Amino acid sequence: QRHEPAPNYQKPAVAKDDGEKRILEAIVAAREGEHYANVSEADGRLMRQLVEAVGARRVVELGTSTGESGLWFSLALRKTGGKLYTHDIDPGRLAVARANFKKAGVEDLIVVVEGDAHETAVKNTEPIDVLFIDAEKDGYDRYLKELLPLVRPGGLILAHNMHYPPPNPRYLEAVTTNPDLDTSFVLMDGPGLGITIKKR
C-alpha cells in the first residue's frame, strides 16, 4: 500500500524554564553565527531526548565543531547531573564552541578537549553512558573499537551522518552484525542518525 509523504507535526522547542530558554536562544544564535557541519535541529532534539532518557552522567562526543550538538546535550545534562566530554582537533572551532557554551551558561557542564580524538578520548577510563561519534567519517569504526569497551551495558552509541555524507561501511558492518549491539537508523530524510544500544 502506498502512502503520502509523512506529515511534519514538529514545532519549535518550547522552553520549560529560564535555563532552557537561554540554551535554546544560544542555539539559534550559534546557527546564525560562525558554524561548521553541525547537527540539525531534528537530530539535536532527539539526541537530547535520548541523553535525558538514559539519565546520562557521562557523554563523550567526538567532533565538537562550534558546539551546537554540545548545546543540545546540555539541555539534558543540566537535568541528569551529567557532563559532556567533547573532543575536537580544530582550535578555531573550539574557540567558537567555548564562546557558545559560555553564552548559554553551560560551560560548567562541558569539558572541552583539544587534539586528535583517537589519542585524547582513549585516555578516559570511566564508563560512558552515551558516546556520540561525529568526527572524521573514515575513523568511525576505529572510534567504535577504541571506546566500545568503556560504554556501559545499557548505554548508547549515537553516530551522525548515516545517510550523508556517505557513512563508513566498516562502521555500518560493525554496528549491524555484533550480537552485543542493536542499531536503528533514524531521521534518514536528513543526514541520518545511528542509535545503537550496548545490550545488558
Ligand X SMILES: C[S@@+](CC[C@H](N)C(=O)[O-])C[C@H]1O[C@@H](n2cnc3c(N)ncnc32)[C@H](O)[C@@H]1O
Q: Which of residues 141-200 bind ligand X (CB under 6 A)?
A: none
- Residue 62, sorted as left (phi over 0), alpha (psi -120 to 50) or beta, turns out to be beta
| Helices 18-32/68-80 angle, 10° precision | 170
Using rule CB under 6 A, residue 27 touches ligand X: no
Q: Among 48, 63, 80, 159, which residue interacts with ligand X (rule: CB under 6 A)?
A: 63
**For residues 106 and 156, what is the distance between their CA atoms, to the nearest angstrom?**
23
Sign of CA dihedral 87, 77, 189, 147: positive
CB-based burial, 142-152: b 16+ in 10 Å, e otherwise = ebbebbbebbb
Instruction: Considering only the stretches 76-84, 102-110, 111-119, 163-171, report the one whose residues sit in contact with ligand X under the rule CB under 6 A.
Output: 111-119
Q: Which is nearer to ligand X, 111 or 180 (CB)?
A: 111
- Residue 161, sorted as left (phi over 0), alpha (psi -120 to 50) or beta, turns out to be left
Using rule CB under 6 A, residue 38 touches ligand X: yes
Using rule CB under 6 A, residue 68 touches ligand X: yes
Q: Which is nearer to ligand X, 52 or 90 (CB)?
A: 90
How many chain residues touch ligand X (CB under 6 A)? 21
**Residues in the site for ligand X, rule: CB under 6 A?**
36-39, 63, 65, 67-69, 87-90, 93, 116-118, 134-136, 139
